[in-house]
Amino acid sequence: MSDNYADLTDHSHPQPDVQALSGTSMHVYEAVATIEYSGRRASREAIAAAAGLDEATLEDMLTRLTEQGALALERTNGDQVYVPTSRGWSAQPELAAAHHMR
């Protein structure tokens, strides 16, 4: 496997229940998910701007969410970005299939 991507298909560890997150950790997780869903890369700077937290709190939350397995840190072309380890949405919304109600 390439060092550039986190192995999100490793099922030897159970996926975290992100619905059990609360407070500031949920706020940071939602910031990462929103940034990614909008098609941007969730760098530390982008997360800080979206979450509006001080540096110490942001560092603590990113460390906790990564240790808990809710987020993974990817290194690509020298950039570090955070990604959710489990998605309930398409990472490319423009490619989503349209489902019409009947």
Q: Could you tell me the pLDDT band of residue 76, with boundaries at 50, 70 and 90?
A: confident
Confidence of residue 46 (pLDDT cuts 50, 70, 90): very high
Is residue 2 predicted with pLDDT exceeding 50? no
Mean pLDDT of the 1-10 span: 46
Torsion of CA 71, 34, 39, 16, to 10 degrees: 30
Whether residue 92 has pLDDT greater than 70:
no
> What is the distance between the alpha carbons of residues 51 and 11, in angstroms, rounded to a whole number?
30
